[in-house]
C-alpha cells in the first residue's frame, strides 16, 4: 500500500508509475476504488470490490489516500509506504493499523516513511521516532500533545519560527506528561480476568435459525441468496437488506450487508430471556430448532 494525503498526489503517482514501472495498480480515495483499463483510462469500482481484488492478487500496489485508513483492513498486505507524512502522527498510526493487526499473514511487515529533507515536519518526526519511541508504543498520555502538532507545525511554517525550538518544546511537553503507554509492559502486568464461560451458541447456530422458517421470529422474512447470505425483512422495514452469518464474508462486504448477530440493530431483541434453571439440561440450539427442548420444558 502507498499512502498519500492528497488525491492529486495519488493521481500523479499512478500516472508516473504507469509510465515507468510494469506494475498492476489500483487506487482508493474519496472517489472510491479505481482500476486501470488497457487503454490507460480508469474505471471506478466499489469499496468492497477494491478490497477483494487487492486481496486476490489482482494488483501489485494499492495507491490510496487516508480514505483507505478508515474501516478497511488489509491483513494480507506485507508492506506500506507513506509517500508524504501527515502533520498529525496519529494519522500515521491509523494507516499502519490497516495492515499491522490481528490476522496479519506475513511474519514481517515493512513500513517505509518518506520525508522531505530540511522541513519542520521531518525534524518533528525524527524527534518522535528517536527520542520518544512513538512507533514502538501505544500512545496514551501523549495523545493530547500529538493532537496539537498540526497547529504547531503550521504556525512554524507560516511565521518562520525556529524549528529547533518547536522540537525542544515538544520534548519538554512529553517529559512533563510522562511516558506513553507501553503495550508490552501492560500485557505483562498481572491481569486476573477469570475464567470465561463457553459461548451458548455460535454463528453456525444463528445460521441454522435464520435459515429455518419455523425458527425465525414472527414477522421476519428471510430468504436464502447464497451460502450464509440472506435477504432479510423485519417489521417496520421498508425494503429488505442483505445479511450474513459469516464474519469473514461480512468483513469483505461491509458496505453492502449486515452481520446478523447480537448487537446489530437488525438482530431481534427477545421479549423474554429464559434463565438457565428454566431450561432442561443439555438444551442445545438443535433441540430448540426441532422442538424437543420446548416439549421437555412444558413436560
Per residue in 32-47, pLDDT tens? 899 988 888 899 998 8
When pLDDT is cut at 50, 70 and 90, the band that residue 143 belongs to is low
When pLDDT is cut at 50, 70 and 90, the band that residue 243 belongs to is very high
When pLDDT is cut at 50, 70 and 90, the band that residue 85 belongs to is confident
β-pair type (25-29, 61-64): parallel
pLDDT at site 198: 73
Q: What is the CATH number of domain 2-188?
A: 3.40.50.300
Q: Rounded to whole angstroms, how far apart are CA atoms 150 and 288?
A: 58
Between 46-50, 88-92, 273-277, the lowest mean confidence (pLDDT) is in 273-277
pLDDT at site 62: 92
Angle between helices 120-127 and 149-159 (to 10 degrees): 140
Q: Is the pLDDT of residue 108 over 80?
A: yes
Higher pLDDT, 177 or 163: 163
When pLDDT is cut at 50, 70 and 90, the band that residue 296 belongs to is very low
Instruction: Decide: 140 and 181 in contact? Cβ < 8 Å.
Output: yes
Per residue in 181-218, pLDDT tens? 444 444 444 445 556 677 777 899 899 999 988 888 88
pTM here is 0.51
Total residues found in the chain within this entry: 299
The grid coordinates listed for 117 are 529533507
pLDDT at site 280: 57
When pLDDT is cut at 50, 70 and 90, the band that residue 153 belongs to is low
In our burial notation (b when 16+ CB lie closer than 10 A, e otherwise), range 10-25 reads bbebbeebeeeeeeeb
Q: Cell 486476573 appears where?
A: 192
pLDDT at site 255: 67
Q: Rounded to whole angstroms, how far apart are CA atoms 4 and 92?
A: 11
Higher pLDDT, 261 or 175: 261
Domain ranges of the chain: 2-188, 206-268, 271-299
Q: Is the pLDDT of residue 144 over 50?
A: yes
HEC secondary structure over 17-84: HHHHCCCCEEEEECCEEEEECCCCCEEEECHHHHHHHHHCCCCCEEEECHHHHCCCCCCCCCEEEECC
Q: Rounded to whole angstroms, how far apart are CA atoms 25 and 39?
A: 14
When pLDDT is cut at 50, 70 and 90, the band that residue 148 belongs to is low
Amino acid at each position: 500500500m502507498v499512502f498519500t494525503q492528497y488525491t492529486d498526489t495519488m493521481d500523479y503517482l499512478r500516472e508516473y508509475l504507469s509510465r515507468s514501472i510494469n506494475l498492476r495498480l489500483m487506487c482508493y480515495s474519496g472517489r472510491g476504488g479505481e482500476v486501470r483499463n488497457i487503454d490507460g483510462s480508469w474505471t471506478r469500482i466499489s469499496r468492497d470490490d477494491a478490497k477483494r481484488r487487492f486481496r486476490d492478487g489482482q494488483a501489485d500496489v494499492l495507491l490510496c489516500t487516508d480514505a483507505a485508513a478508515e474501516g478497511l483492513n488489509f491483513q494480507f498486505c506485507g508492506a506500506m509506504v507513506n509517500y508524504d507524512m501527515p502533520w498529525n502522527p496519529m494519522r500515521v498510526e491509523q494507516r499502519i493499523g490497516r495492515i499491522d493487526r490481528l490476522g496479519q499473514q506475513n511474519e514481517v511487515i515493512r513500513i517505509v516513511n518518506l520525508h522531505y529533507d530540511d522541513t519542520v515536519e521531518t525534524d518533528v518526526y525524527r524527534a518522535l521516532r528517536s527520542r520518544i519511541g512513538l512507533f514502538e508504543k501505544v500512545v496514551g498520555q501523549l495523545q493530547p500533545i500529538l493532537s496539537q502538532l498540526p497547529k504547531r507545525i503550521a504556525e512554524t511554517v507560516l511565521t518562520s519560527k525556529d524549528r529547533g525550538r518547536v522540537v525542544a518544546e515538544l520534548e519538554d511537553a512529553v517529559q512533563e506528561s510522562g511516558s506513553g503507554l507501553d503495550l508490552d509492559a501492560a500485557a505483562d502486568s498481572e491481569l486476573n480476568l477469570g475464567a470465561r464461560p463457553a459461548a451458548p451458541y455460535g454463528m453456525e447456530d444463528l445460521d441454522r435459525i435464520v435459515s429455518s422458517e419455523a425458527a425465525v421470529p414472527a414477522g421476519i422474512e428471510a430468504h436464502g441468496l447464497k451460502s450464509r447470505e440472506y435477504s432479510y425483512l423485519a417489521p417496520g422495514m421498508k425494503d429488505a437488506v442483505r445479511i450474513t452469518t459469516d464474519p469473514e464474508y461480512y468483513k469483505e462486504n461491509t458496505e453492502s450487508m449486515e452481520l446478523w448477530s447480537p448487537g446489530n440493530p437488525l438482530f431481534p431483541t427477545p421479549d423474554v430471556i429464559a434463565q438457565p434453571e428454566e431450561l432442561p439440561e443439555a438444551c442445545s440450539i438443535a433441540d430448540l430448532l426441532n422442538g424437543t427442548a420446548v416439549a421437555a420444558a412444558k413436560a
